[in-house]
Amino acid sequence: MFIFRQISINHYLWTFLSVIIVTVIGKILTPFFNLTNIVLLYLLPVLISAVRWGRGPSFFAAFLGVLAFDFLFVPPVFSFTVSEVRDLFIFAVYLVVALVTGTMATKLRNELEKTRQREERTLALYALSQEIAAETDLPQVLETLVKTVSETIHAQVSILVSDPDDDIVRQAASYPPQHSLPDGKEQAVAHWVLEHGLSAGKGTEILREASELIFPVKAEDKTLAVLAIKMNNEEETISPEQRQLIEAFANLAAVAIIRVQLAEEAEQAKWLAESEKLHRALLNSISHDLRTPLASITGAATSLLAEGNVYTREARKVLLHTIKEEAQRMNRFVANLLDMVRLESGILKPKAEWCDIQDIIGVVLRATKETSQQHILKARIPPELPLVKADFTLIEQVMINLLENGVKYSPPGSEISISARYHDKMLLVIVADSGLAIPKIEQERVFDKFYRLHSTKNIGGTGLGLSICKGIVEAHGGSIWVDSSPEYGNRFTFSLPVSEQPIDSQADMKEGEGNVI
């Protein structure tokens, strides 16, 4: 109240000063203008006061102008008496014009202020809608909401939601961040508003003893949350215009909350659909890729257990070899499934250690010697390649999968090569085969889980090998890709980052030319 009075007094003092200034100007102009012209000057303080400070100062300027004009300009000067009736008419007309002009200017000022406030509210709503439209995280949406409301109406704002685990409301966001809703009465009011969907608290007819005003955030008939608002000045109350603005904010917040919830539900539905699709693909793959080797193993074992010497020594050897191959095939299939599960769950973590790529390639060539008997394997490794920090076993698995992929899709007798080179702080390993060139549109998709080329549906496999390669390489901070051409077939390349070499790495470097196998 003190501030309001001080501001009002200042307005009247500025009005008094403006009348004095006009009076001085009028005295200077008296030799050149008649009284009718001089009295018009006193409309200036009236208009200025009405536009700047409102109706009260403008009326004060009008009456003060009449007194100053009568006392200093109308004969007899320095007296409030009037010698002619026409002077009274001038006073009356001036007062009417001044009062009407002041009233109209005040109305225009008020309309301008209302228009400005409406524009500010519209801009605030637009800004809030723009900010929360891009948000997909509910806590961030709530934080943006309380900050905007707080800065717009200059109050302390909290948003509260019901706790699904207990029959209470909990604070989800507030601005300023240190503001919190008091316990006890305010919590009870918030809980009541959440249940009934009506405003309550300070300034309302319901539970007015509370220190804060509680607004519901509703979507249709469901109350999603409540807004708790406390003005910075405790003696100040929320105006009807502010109440309308808060309700608009609350409606906008309800739409945003529903949108985020629907987006989360849609995302969950998407993941459920993907999971169902994965389960179907996994079951189909298991039913085919497990049944085939099991049937072969069962058939071979049954034949071996047959009574009598039905089979020769060579035939038995072939059957035992079949059992071994099919068991290894099943083992690779199960290992791929387990590796994919470990990758998806994040359990598979590389155990980085200094590795020489030549050592890994040597182990891989020995491990795949039996499965690649019908192909020509060549390894071209330049000397003095840098060491890499990687998981030896996992990188070995990557190269085995790439080699077995090449063996599976390349014609018998064709060449499969392994090469490596160092470029731009990355070690590149290339596995090239002579298989049917992968179409450019499918070169990225071949690394997806269970994806297989349409042109190779008659070739067995689960479509997991390349996906596992991608997961392992990316876990090492590298990348994997394929480029294909009818001239040279397919070249699968993966990269591994090369960090600063250990001090004794030069002593461990392999010397001589690269091996050719």
Q: Which three-class secondary structure string do you get for 370-436? A: CCCCCCEEEEECCCCCCCEEECHHHHHHHHHHHHHHHHHHCCCCCEEEEEEEEECCEEEEEEEECCC
CATH number of 353-508: 3.30.565.10
pLDDT exceeds 70 at position 373: yes
pLDDT of residue 503: 65
Superfamily per CATH, domain 137-263: GAF domain (3.30.450.40)
Please state, in angstroms and rounded to a whole number, the distance separating the CA atoms of residues 72 and 483.
100
pLDDT of residue 510: 44
- Both tokens of residue 231? 């003005």
pLDDT of residue 347: 64
* Annotated domain spans of the chain: 2-114, 137-263, 291-345, 353-508
pLDDT of residue 504: 61
Range with top average pLDDT, 25-34, 64-73, 220-229, 479-488? 479-488
Over the chain, what is the mean pLDDT? 77
Same fold, 137-263 and 353-508: no
- Cis amide bond preceding 31, omega within 30: no
State the amino acid at position 240 in one-letter form. P
Work out the pLDDT band at 479, boundaries 50, 70, 90: very high
Please state, in angstroms and rounded to a whole number, the distance separating the CA atoms of residues 168 and 257.
20
Q: What percent of the chain has pLDDT over 70?
A: 79
Work out the pLDDT band at 325, boundaries 50, 70, 90: confident
pLDDT digits (tens, 9 = 90+) for 246-294: 888 888 878 888 887 787 788 788 877 776 775 666 566 556 566 667 7
Task: Report pTM.
Answer: 0.43
- Both tokens of residue 7? 């501001």
Nearest to 469 by CA among 340, 351, 344: 340
Please state, in angstroms and rounded to a whole number, the distance separating the CA atoms of residues 484 and 479.
17
Please state, in angstroms and rounded to a whole number, the distance separating the CA atoms of residues 466 and 471.
9
pLDDT exceeds 60 at position 123: yes
Range with top average pLDDT, 208-212, 273-277, 354-358, 438-442? 354-358
The region that residue 65 occupies, defined by phi over 0 for left and psi between -120 and 50 for alpha, beta otherwise, is alpha
Nearest to 398 by CA among 444, 485, 460, 467: 467
Question: Averaged over 29-44, what is the pLDDT?
Answer: 79
pLDDT digits (tens, 9 = 90+) for 405-448: 888 888 888 999 999 999 888 999 999 998 888 888 888 888 88
CA angle, 274 then 279 then 283, to 5°: 150
Question: Averaged over 26-40, what is the pLDDT?
Answer: 80
pLDDT of residue 266: 83
pLDDT of residue 494: 95
For residue 223, give the 3-state DSSP assignment: strand
pLDDT exceeds 80 at position 332: no
* Contacts with 62 (C-beta within 8 Å, 6 or more apart), sequence order: 42, 46, 94, 95, 98, 99, 102
Residue matched to tokens 């994040």 = 346
Q: Exposed (0-12), middle (13-18) or buried (19+): which is 410, by Cβ within 10 Å?
A: buried
